[in-house]
Amino acid sequence: MMLWKRSLLAACLILASAVQAAEVNVYSGRQEELIKPVLDRFTQETGIKVNLITGKPDELIGRMQTEGRNSPADVLISSDVGRLSRAKTAGVLQVVDSATLTGAIPAYLRDPEQQWFGLTLRARPILYVPAKVDPAQLSTLQDLADPKWKGKICIRSSDNIYNQSMVAALLAHLGEEKTQAWANGFVNNFAQPPKGGDRDQIKAAAAGVCDLAIANTYYLGGMLDDPKDKAAAEKLKVFWPNQNDFGTHVNISGAGVAKFAPNKAEAIKLLEYMVKPEAQDWYAATNHEYPVVEGVKWSPLLESFGHFKADSLALAKLGELNAKAIEIMDKAGWK
């Protein structure tokens, strides 16, 4: 009888331990409203509780470094490959062996050593005011260094990781000398000193400050969904540059499993869930980001922007070239 009780107690302790372990701690550089709904769906489907901590990506990476082996982080989510690359270099991520992830995500959208994975695709095209610009005048990102665009371009500052990655992509394609020459001319064509975020560039173009704006499409999509910003957003159209060469610059939001993840199995389950068609569809419909998984339908709003040839440059290169890209931007006087 005593043996039976001991066995029952042991079984209860094992079950309690399993229940306690059914959680995953997420450090997210993405805003809560952009990520929490899909995390809540994951919990509903799996029973795995998600503990979410949001913050600036670089600060979260620094926190993981400081916490070391004692870090509770299981997953790091970031809104740009540049910061995922920094996390890898900082040694806070680990290799993940998942056939689900490597099978669903194209190779150029994930780390070649499987430490980070793209979960959504975001494009950074040229937005133009059709009342002022004939799209036949537009062609490539490189062409925006031409003096004909002097005083006509709005873009955010050089300390923005999206712009750093965009310049890093040009650096990979054109080399240092040509990219520096482009940056010099491009900066000379700014309509105003860079300030604010992507939405501010769109609003500036709508207000007549500039004729062209560089911004990620999901910002335009969000504004078109927002009654207070819709009128401004409707004044701009999307132009897909570089369709006759390497394609329009794209980036990702993505994630990796923390090096010392206490809940590694649950962390991998979360990443695998986020490439399921239903999660990818949610992102496309709600956040206006493109699916990384082939075959997932775009939302009607994304369809309205038109289909395009995306740059298939391995995004790992953007992290490798980040420091040189910043150097080029500084030399060009890009504030």
pLDDT value at residue 283: 81
Q: How far apart are CA 97 and CA 124, in angstroms?
A: 31
Residue 20: what pLDDT?
52
Check the annotation: does 218 bind a ligand.
yes
pLDDT in tens, the chain (335 residues): 444 444 444 444 444 444 455 899 999 998 887 788 899 999 999 999 999 999 999 999 999 999 999 999 999 999 889 999 999 999 999 999 999 999 999 999 999 999 999 999 999 999 999 999 999 999 999 999 999 999 999 999 999 999 999 999 999 999 999 999 999 999 999 999 999 999 999 999 999 999 999 999 999 999 999 999 999 999 999 999 999 999 999 999 999 999 999 999 999 999 999 999 999 998 888 889 999 999 898 989 999 999 999 999 999 999 999 999 999 999 999 99
- Coil/strand/helix, residue 234: coil
Q: State how beta strands 23-28 and 49-54 pair.
A: parallel
End-to-end CA distance of the chain: 77
Structure token pair of residue 4: 């039976």
Report the C-alpha gap between 3 and 99 in whole angstroms: 43
Find how far residue 125's CA is from the centre of its chain. 14
CB 150 within 8 A of CB 188: yes
SS3 per residue for the chain: CHHHHHHHHHHHHHHHHHHHHCEEEEEECCCHHHHHHHHHHHHHHHCCEEEEEECCHHHHHHHHHHHHHHCCCCEEEECCHHHHHHHHHCCCECCCCCHHHHHHCCHHHECCCCCCEEEEEEECCEEECCCCCCHHHCCCCHHHHCHHHCCCEECCCCCCHHHHHHHHHHHHHHCHHHHHHHHHHHHHCECCCCCCCHHHHHHHHHCCCCCEEECCHHHHHHHHHCCCCHHHHCCCEEECCCCCCCCECEEEEEEEEECCCCCHHHHHHHHHHCCCHHHHHHHHHHHCCEECCCCCCCCHHHHHCCCCCECCCCCHHHHHCHHHHHHHHHHCCCC
Say if CB 310 and CB 121 are below 8 A apart.
Answer: yes
Exposure of 62 in the CB half-sphere (CA atoms within 13 A)? 5
pLDDT for res 9: 43
Closest CA to 120 of 318, 302, 242, 319: 302
User: Do 23-121+251-297 and 123-249+315-331 come out as alike in CATH topology?
Assistant: yes
Q: How many CB atoms lie within 10 A of CB 124?
A: 24
What does the buried/exposed string (b/e) look like for 222-233 if buried means 16 or more CB atoms within 10 Å of the residue's CB?
A: bbbeeeebeebb
Task: Look up tokens 């990702």; give the residue.
Answer: 252
CATH numeric code, 23-121+251-297: 3.40.190.10
Q: What pLDDT shows up at residue 79? A: 85
Contact at 8 Å (CB) between 221 and 122? no
Q: Domain limits of the chain?
A: 23-121+251-297, 123-249+315-331
Amino acid at the residue 120: T
**Which top CATH class is 123-249+315-331?**
alpha beta
Q: Tell whether 283 is in a known binding site.
A: no
Distance CA 255, CA 8 (A): 40
